Amino acid sequence: MQGILQKMRSRLENPVYYELPLAEHCVILNPLIGKSIKLFFTGRIFCVHCNRPIKKSFNQGYCYPCFISLAQCDMCIMKPESCHYDAGTCREPDWAQSFCFQPHIVYLANSSGIKVGITRQTQIPARWVDQGAVQALPIFKVRSRYISGLVEVIIAEHISDKTSWQQMLKSRPILIDLAAKRDELTAVCLPELTKIADRFGPQAIQQIDDEKIADIHYPVTNYPVKIHSLNLDKTPEASGILLGIKGQYLLLDTGVINIRKFSGYEIELTPEP
């Protein structure tokens, strides 16, 4: 099958169900685990937003004009606490209203160890799966992306806000009592969190106490001992036995490939006998 790469879609089952959109096709990946597959990059790249052919992509799939003009490519997407909407300098105010000014969740996750993260409420649990988390727990519901960023910065003074993708792909991490960690972090961060509530109103940030910890299992038969990253820009063919899928990575016996990194790349996917 041939088509333009998009991020893998997932569904929270045991194990996680994965499928790969390719043009009008959607390849169910779980049955391919244990089998040989080949991904061949045809050399053609298309912008994931405007679909025009390009020689090089930016920010996981955009052409340069889209990269410099779209709000979804702005730095505040990665650092929401730097939101500049109120300054009148947002690239797309209408887009911001539909994306940033929506309920967001601040959560704890265990991927390569404990971390704090944020996502739109509608992106749970997909966001956790994309990060390769084996556990996740919502701890706050907030009114906007900007406020979620402020909360994340406070909590990130005590735990990481990053995932080590190499460590995430090497094994399943030791399980953590996320509920106990939530209570500990809430107590230590209470003065700063109270200031946010005073600034934006009591309904701007709501603590979540009644959610259960999500326990996430991935379709992986063997984790790689050593991480070797496959790069379609350097070698257009990635092939091998599919050992598993975690996050947005295919784990082959020849190396791992980040599917999301190559969004917009035209590839041919061939299950080999």
178-200 vs 145-155: helix axis angle to the nearest 10?
130
Contact assessment for residue 103 and residue 123, using Cβ atoms and an 8 Å cutoff:
no
- 265's enclosing H/E stretch is strand 265-272
Task: Please tell me the distance from the alpha carbon of residue 77 to that of residue 83, in angstroms, as a whole number.
Answer: 8
How far CA 123 is from CA of 65, 97, 105, 107, 247, in Å, comes to: 27, 17, 9, 12, 14
Contact assessment for residue 178 and residue 213, using Cβ atoms and an 8 Å cutoff:
yes
Task: Record the tokens describing residue 64, joined without a space.
Answer: 């340069």
β-pair type (36-46, 53-54): antiparallel
Task: Please tell me the distance from the alpha carbon of residue 245 to that of residue 16, in angstroms, as a whole number.
Answer: 9
**Total number of residues shown for the chain:** 273
- 258's enclosing H/E stretch is strand 255-258
- 160: which residues sit within 8 A by CB, 6+ positions away? 113, 114, 115, 116
The single-letter code of the amino acid at 230 is L
Return the biggest CA–CA distance within the chain: 63
Please report the DSSP string for 206-247 in residue order: EE--SPPPEE----BS---SS--B--TTT-SEEEEEEEEEET
What pLDDT sits at residue 171? 86
Of 228, 270, 231, 273, give the one whose Cα is nearest residue 253.
228
> By three-state DSSP, how is residue 54 classified?
strand
Q: Give CA angle at 249 (245, 254), nearest 5°.
A: 85
Q: Give CA angle at 49 (21, 97), nearest 5°.
A: 110
Q: Which residues pair with 196 in a beta bridge?
A: none
What pLDDT sits at residue 273? 67
> By three-state DSSP, how is residue 61 classified?
coil
Q: What is the pLDDT along the chain (273 residues), one digit of tens a residue?
A: 899 999 999 999 999 999 999 877 899 999 999 999 999 999 999 999 999 999 999 999 999 999 999 999 999 999 999 999 988 999 999 999 999 999 999 999 999 999 999 999 999 999 999 999 999 999 999 999 999 999 999 999 999 999 999 999 998 889 999 999 999 999 999 999 999 999 999 899 999 999 999 999 999 999 998 999 999 999 999 999 999 999 999 999 999 999 999 999 999 999 876
How far CA 235 is from CA of 43, 63, 137, 246, in Å, comes to: 11, 22, 39, 22
